[in-house]
Amino acid sequence: MLVTVETNPSESGRPEAVFVSWLLWQPRGADLQTEALKELCKLARYADRNPDIARLRSLFATLAGRGKLH
């Protein structure tokens, strides 16, 4: 496995970095579609408050097979 370290710590909070980190921490054999749906539920109440969270929800929605969320 390739591990990278962000040289700029503020970059580690980007939606894409959070999503990739989440993916890497999923156990082998996990149903990623189901797990992504769980994350969508957790993030649902925050979607309109922050564009980064909206982007993160969009990434999870794509993985869950829900396409883009508005």
Mean pLDDT of successive 10-residue segments in the chain (70 residues)? 52 86 97 96 85 93 79
Whole-angstrom distance between the N-terminal and C-terminal Cα of the chain? 34
Q: Is residue 66 part of a domain?
A: yes
Rounded Cα–Cα distance for residues 4 and 53 (Å): 23
Q: Is residue 37 part of a domain?
A: yes
Rounded Cα–Cα distance for residues 25 and 23 (Å): 5
Amino acid at 29: G
Q: Is residue 68 part of a domain?
A: yes
How many structural domains compose the chain? Answer: 1
Residue span of the structural domain in which 59 resides: 30-70
Q: Is residue 51 part of a domain?
A: yes
- Please tell me the predicted confidence (pLDDT) of residue 47: 66
- Please tell me the predicted confidence (pLDDT) of residue 7: 54
Q: Is residue 65 part of a domain?
A: yes
Q: Is residue 6 part of a domain?
A: no
- Please tell me the predicted confidence (pLDDT) of residue 49: 83
